[in-house]
């Protein structure tokens, strides 16, 4: 069974801090997604990656296929980064996603 | 503007009534999905459709029904058989196929049944 675990569940930090959110999964996958959910509920896709590292602005996502682990990093964090960050995995040949429970990030000014 | 719309944003129903949640996309995506989100839990797949006139049950399909008569539309009906219908419902779409594709999400509908 494909299980996705995120840590921490909740994270509070001060503006400017470097943030790391972790995601571990249990089976081989074709891709891993990082999503952002704002308080209103809408979800935005941040990254989809199957190997290595991707960067978009202050956000960096990495994945280690052998260790079945991915991290999402936020540099120079800002209060507008406050949201729930969700990791989801996708199996080979399937479009269905399996989701982690999310990490609630709060950045204080 | 391309995207996914869900309506309404908030929906209130009495127990025992069926209710239909709307999901429309103009991204020309073949695949569409319905997810349910409960507090403290990850999103769970209710139903998905890879192509018009075809759909499959997800992990928690009991008490729900869908149709896919048009590529753009994938409505979800929450029936009276669903034991705990109060939740946040999200619709998504993606390009179909064997290669992984990004999913695009709608703004969600918060359903409250009393």
pLDDT digits (tens, 9 = 90+) for A80-100: 999 999 999 998 777 788 999
| Distance between CA atoms of residues B34 and B45, nearest Å | 6
Give how far Cα A76 sits from Cα of A20, A24, A100, B48, B108, Å: 12, 24, 25, 38, 30
Q: Choose among A82, A57, A61, A58: nearest CA to A72.
A: A61
Intervals of chain A under pLDDT 50: none
Is the predicted pLDDT of residue B42 greater than 90, yes or no? no
Assess B96–A contact: CB distance below 8 Å, yes or no: yes
CA distance B23 to chain A (A): 14
> Encoding tokens for residue A102?
């999310």
CA distance B19 to chain A (A): 20
CA distance B105 to chain A (A): 6
Of the pLDDT bands very low, low, confident and very high (cuts 50, 70, 90), residue B40 is confident
The residues that bridge with B89 in the sheet, in sequence order, are: B36, B109
Residue whose entry in the numeric block shows the structure tokens 């990093």: A73
| Residues of chain B with C-beta less than 8 angstroms from the C-beta of A95 | 31, 33, 48, 50, 94, 96-97, 100-101, 103
Assess B44–A contact: CB distance below 8 Å, yes or no: yes
Residue whose entry in the numeric block shows the structure tokens 């840590």: A7
The residues that bridge with A70 in the sheet, in sequence order, are: A23, A63
The chain-wide mean pLDDT, for chain B, equals 92
CB A11 within 8 A of CB A104: yes
pLDDT reported for residue B1 = 60
pLDDT reported for residue B39 = 85
| Residues of chain B with C-beta less than 8 angstroms from the C-beta of A31 | 100
pLDDT reported for residue A16 = 98
CB contact under 8 A, B43 and A45: no
> Encoding tokens for residue B39?
């507090």
pLDDT reported for residue A2 = 67
> Encoding tokens for residue B85?
């219908």
| Residues of chain A with C-beta less than 8 angstroms from the C-beta of B91 | none
At B57-112, the pLDDT tens digits run 999 999 999 999 999 999 999 999 899 999 999 999 998 876 778 899 999 999 99
Nearest residue, CB atoms, B107 vs list A35, A41, A99 = A41
| Residues of chain A with C-beta less than 8 angstroms from the C-beta of B31 | 95
Give how far Cα B74 sits from Cα of A21, B65, B105, Å: 33, 10, 13
CB count in 10 Å sphere of residue A87: 29
């Amino acid at each position: 069974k494909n299980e996705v675990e995120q840590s921490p569940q909740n994270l509070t930090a001060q503006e400017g801090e470097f943030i790391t959110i972790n995601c571990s999964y249990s089976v081989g996958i074709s891709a891993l997604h990082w999503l952002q959910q704002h308080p209103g509920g809408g979800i935005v896709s941040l990254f989809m990656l199957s190997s290595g590292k991707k960067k978009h602005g202050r956000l960096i996502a990495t994945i280690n296929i052998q260790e079945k682990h991915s991290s999402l990093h936020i540099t120079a964090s800002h209060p507008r980064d406050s949201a729930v960050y969700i990791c989801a995995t996708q199996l080979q040949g399937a479009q269905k996603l399996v989701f982690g429970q999310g990490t609630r990030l709060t950045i204080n000014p | 503007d391309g995207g996914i719309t869900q309506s309404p944003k908030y929906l209130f129903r009495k127990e025992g009534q069926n209710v239909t949640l709307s999901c429309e996309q103009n991204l020309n995506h073949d695949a569409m999905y319905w997810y349910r989100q409960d507090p403290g839990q990850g999103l769970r797949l209710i139903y998905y459709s890879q192509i018009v006139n075809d759909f499959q049950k997800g992990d928690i399909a009991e008490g729900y029904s869908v149709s896919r008569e048009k590529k753009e539309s994938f409505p979800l009906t929450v029936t009276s058989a669903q034991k705990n219908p109060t939740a946040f419902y999200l619709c998504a779409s993606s390009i179909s196929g064997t290669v992984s594709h990004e999913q695009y999400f709608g703004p969600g509908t918060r359903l409250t049944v009393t």
